[in-house]
Amino acid sequence: MFGLKPDFCNVALPETYFSMEDYASSTARWCSGCGAHTILTSVQRLCKEEQLLPEKTVFVSGIGCSSRFPHYMNTFGFHGLHGRAFPVACGIKFRRPDLNVFMVTGDGDCCSIGAGHWVHAIRYNIKMVVLLFDNAIYGLTKKQTSPTSAKGTISNTHPRGSVLPPINPIQATLGLPNASFVAQTADWQPAHLHATIKKAYDHPGLAFVRIVQRCPIFMRDVYEPTVADPNAITVLNHENGIQLDEKILKTFHNVVDHDPSDINKARELAERNNRTPIGLFYQNENADRYDEYGAHNLGISTEDRIDAINSLMDRYAV
Ligand code: SF4
Ligand code: MG
């Protein structure tokens, strides 16, 4: 159909429709082969599937390779300070509950300088999707040991190998009070990646997703064996977990049943480190949410809050 975007071809046209291209901004400048490209595509696909209004959607990030993400989305965005994405995202959602809030962070941004904010954001459980791009290195500053670098990682800060055991972000998050959604996926498993991001978007609180991410520039040796070996991944499977097509599920050699309401089993699975587990470790849709408390505490409805903010902003309009 001449003149129409490709995904308009076989559908009845609604009055307003956003294609994937409508969510894309400038060309992503991550390195060729970087896992971040796949994640960006998956998020733009989710936006299209959910028909998220660009003017009602905001991406917040800190500092690092991953934190360039808001520049590549044709939505609102906030590329902030190192480690400070959590309080910015929490503040936005707390005062503007009508917005779709996504937060993108890296292993250095979240698990080192931002670790204090990470802890409290998990406890606040304010509704948003948090995507932790974990490449186990500081990539933007050219290969320094990060909190998730495996012991022995050769880097510019540890040329003879790092000396401390890494933080396991899944294990750490599962140990925090009020964690309500904890999942892990990998950028080179696009079907699982997308199903995980979709499940996270549907969750009523803070959905924490660690994405094991390839950095072919600085960490090729770390991820290539995992990517190449079908035995290196264990899929956590359950009817309440991440749903995969049967044909795709059959391609994995190691599949274990795991009920995501079982937090003790989730912690046990997170502690094992012989394979990379992907799936939904834990979900509690009824965990307390600080944004709901905020609405009650102010004693006004969400609509009244938005009107109050708009009238305040109008005072500064020129
Ligand atoms: Fe991606 Fe690594 Fe390049 Fe950063 S340095 S853009 S993480 S491949
Ligand atoms: Mg990193």
Overall average pLDDT of the 52-78 stretch = 98
State yes or no: pLDDT of 297 exceeds 70.
Answer: no
- Give the closest ligand to the alpha carbon of residue 108: 2
Closest residue by Cα to atom 5, ligand 1, is 139
Closest residue by Cα to atom 6, ligand 1, is 30
Q: How confident is the model at residue 12 (pLDDT cuts 50, 70, 90)?
A: low
């590329």: which residue's tokens?
Answer: 79
Q: What is the pLDDT of residues 203-237, one digit of tens each?
A: 999 999 999 999 999 999 888 888 999 899 999 99
Of 44, 45, 86, give the one whose Cα is nearest residue 67: 86
Overall average pLDDT of the 303-316 stretch = 88
pLDDT for the residue numbered 304: 82
Q: What is the pLDDT of residues 93-132, one digit of tens each?
A: 998 899 999 999 999 999 999 999 999 999 999 999 999 9
**CA–CA distance, 238 with 255 (Å, rounded to integer):** 10
Dihedral of CA atoms 86, 199, 234, 121 in degrees, nearest 10, equals: 20
- Give the closest ligand to the alpha carbon of residue 62: 2
**CA–CA distance, 193 with 264 (Å, rounded to integer):** 24
Q: 40 CB less than 6 Å from ligand 1?
A: no
**CA–CA distance, 300 with 309 (Å, rounded to integer):** 12
Six token digits for residue 57: 């959607």
In the predicted model, what is the mean pLDDT of the chain? Answer: 93
Ligand 1 closest atom vs CA 33: 8
Ligand 1 pocket mutation pick from 29, 72, 135, 142 by most atoms within 8 angstroms of CB: 135
Q: 139 CB less than 6 Å from ligand 1?
A: yes
Q: 30 CB less than 6 Å from ligand 1?
A: yes
Lowest mean pLDDT among 195-199, 210-214, 300-304: 300-304
Report CA(218)–ligand 1 centroid distance (Å).
7
Pair 236, 183: CB distance under 8 Å: no
**CA–CA distance, 62 with 70 (Å, rounded to integer):** 10
Report CA(139)–ligand 1 centroid distance (Å).
6
